[in-house]
Amino acid sequence: MKKPKRATAAKAKKGRKTSGSRTKTAPTRARSSAPSRAATAGADISKATIRGLRMKLTQALRRVAELEAAADTDFLLDIPNRRGFVRELQRAVAYMKRYRASGALIVLDVDRLKPINDSFGHAAGDEVLKAIATTLSRQIRASDVVGRLGGDEFALLLWNLSEADAKAKAAMFEQAIDDLSFTFRGQQVMAGASAGVALLGAQSDATRALEEADAAMYVRKAHRRHEPRIRLVNS
């Protein structure tokens, strides 16, 4: 009769162990089912960090865009400089090649800027350049582009013009600049300009077009040599 008692005691002991193990594992399951405060706080910090980095990236990209725009813009005249204009010309030529469009490139050189600078200083020359840029900008369409290639040389990209229309435009630009009048130190000063034209189309190359328009401009300048270099008249 003692053996059954031992078996009963063993079963009771085993039951106590099983019950105890269940009691110990229950709290562990409860803790794993709910995130800890530390984990939640860490996630919030990570999200805030990501938002901050995204904001800094946006600001950096905006700054890069501003610097690129500044690098393409003439600081004095607020129009494209040579780099910016050549980029616009290359885009236009690529478009013309793809869609069989056409246009014209006009290179325009101010005839008498150096004598103005020598006689009245570079501030006077800057005023002349500003007036010329304003005059040209007012006489082109929104789709056209006017830029400063450097020094006293401007360039205009004009869309959808025939050869006759392009030459007429060049003559109009020359006349508009010839008509400008300035007064420095009590003296009236007249500037002037010579323009050369190169047609643009599906077979054009940006670099070659600039060379052609520049060469035509110098031919035109030679024809205008009979005009007065600079007029200084007491006002």
Q: Beta 187-190 vs 145-150: how paired, if at all?
A: unpaired
**Measured in Å, how far apart are the chain's first and last C-alpha atoms?**
142
Query: What residue ranges in 102-192 does DSSP mark as E strands?
Result: 103-110, 145-150, 153-159, 181-184, 187-190
Q: Which residues of 122-136 are buried (b: 16+ CB within 10 A; e: fewer)?
A: eebbeebbeebbebb
Rounded to whole angstroms, the Cα distance separating 54 from 43 reads: 17
Going by C-alpha positions, the residue among 182, 192, 181 that lies closest to residue 220 is 192
Q: Is 128 helix (H, G, I), strand (E, B) or coil?
A: helix
**For residue 52, how many C-alpha atoms fall within 13 Å in the half-sphere facing its CB?**
6
Candidate list 44, 152, 165, 214, residue with the active-site label = 152
**Is 152 annotated as catalytic?**
yes
Residues assigned a catalytic role: 152
